[in-house]
């Protein structure tokens, strides 16, 4: 997998759209996107933008109709192929809203494939606004040149998360100690699991550690805040086993 960053960024606005893209296809933008291109970016008829749908790469599209609340574009040529992000999922205990938003944005920038909110005994925040997190992830993907958008799953309990656990390596960030990530992280399908502000209970720790594919990992000698731990683990994964190598 190439480690070349997509730089310099293209100057054309980039938007994620839900309709499938192909040469010649017509795309209707929603009111928010039409407002952004027309009123914020001041784009007009015949101007170009870049579009991606999360599945078929990135495309150049031309504005064919620019109304006050509506905009139509015609898809022209492909500009980039669909990327393959590393097969890395982040299972995290949700924290306060601002910190969870930050985590969704930064994890998207770092190339996460899937985000799984997991509630634990000490999770304080019980409600996760999925639509909001999805919107944040889409905006981050638009901004950082991703052609994919991470899947964000419905929150689930730690017990059901562990029950559904398959053959993926489960890197469990354990503040009580584990293998240093430098030796633990290996390429291959992986899930990183991080806990809430209060950490995991002893019972939860034992249940996670008893999973056949669990690898307890340490993120160093300091206790990191929950969202810092999740981002630090993901950053280390990308550097050691993901697409920064
Ligand atoms: N209340 C816990 C304590 O004082 O021991 C700390 C929990 S920490 C704020 C939240 C989560 O971040 C932990 O459950 C763990 O998953 C992760 N974490 C924080 N620091 C870590 C470290 N040095 N190594 C591994 N995981 C860490």
Q: Determine the Cα–Cα distance for residues 44 and 142; give it in Å rounded to an integer.
A: 20
How much is the mean pLDDT over the chain?
94
pLDDT digits (tens, 9 = 90+) for 30-60: 999 999 999 999 999 999 999 999 999 999 9
Ligand 1: centre distance to CA 146 (Å): 30
Q: Determine the Cα–Cα distance for residues 208 and 212; give it in Å rounded to an integer.
A: 9
Closest CA to 84 of 243, 237, 234, 241: 243
Say yes or no to pLDDT of 6 above 80: no
Q: Which atom of ligand 1 is nearest to the CA of 172?
A: 16
Residue 228 CB–ligand 1 contact under 6 Å = no
Whole-model pTM: value is 0.93
Residue 182, pLDDT score: 96
11 CB burial (10 A radius; 0-12, 13-18, 19+) = exposed
**What is the Cα gyration radius of the chain?**
20
Residue 125, pLDDT score: 83
Closest CA to 178 of 213, 223, 229, 218: 218
Q: Determine the Cα–Cα distance for residues 40 and 54; give it in Å rounded to an integer.
A: 24
Record the tokens describing residue 145, joined without a space.
Answer: 């040149």
Residue 129 CB–ligand 1 contact under 6 Å = no
Residue 2, pLDDT score: 53
Ligand 1: centre distance to CA 195 (Å): 7
């Amino acid at each position: 997998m190439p480690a070349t960053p997509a730089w310099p960024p293209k100057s054309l606005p980039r938007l994620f759209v839900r309709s499938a893209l192909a040469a010649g296809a017509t795309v209707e933008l929603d009111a928010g996107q039409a407002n952004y291109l027309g009123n914020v970016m001041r784009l007009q008829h015949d101007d170009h933008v870049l579009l991606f749908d999360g599945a078929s790469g990135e495309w150049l599209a031309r504005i064919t109709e620019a109304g006050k609340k509506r905009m139509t574009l015609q898809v022209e040529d492909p500009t980039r192929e669909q990327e393959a992000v590393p097969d890395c999922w982040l299972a995290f205990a949700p924290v306060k809203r601002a910190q969870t938003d930050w985590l969704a944005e930064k994890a998207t920038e770092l190339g996460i494939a899937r985000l799984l909110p997991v509630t634990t005994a000490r999770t304080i925040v019980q409600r996760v606004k999925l639509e909001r997190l999805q919107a944040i992830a889409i905006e981050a993907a638009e901004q950082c040149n991703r052609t994919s958008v991470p899947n964000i799953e419905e929150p689930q309990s730690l017990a059901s998360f562990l029950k559904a656990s398959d053959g993926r390596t489960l890197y469990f960030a354990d503040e009580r100690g584990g293998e240093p990530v430098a030796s633990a992280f290996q390429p291959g399908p992986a899930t990183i699991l991080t806990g809430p502000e209060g950490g995991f209970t002893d019972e939860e720790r034992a249940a996670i550690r008893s999973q056949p594919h669990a690898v307890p990992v340490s993120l160093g000698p300091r206790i990191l805040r929950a969202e810092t731990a999740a981002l630090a683990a993901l950053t280390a994964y990308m550097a050691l086993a993901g697409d920064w190598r």
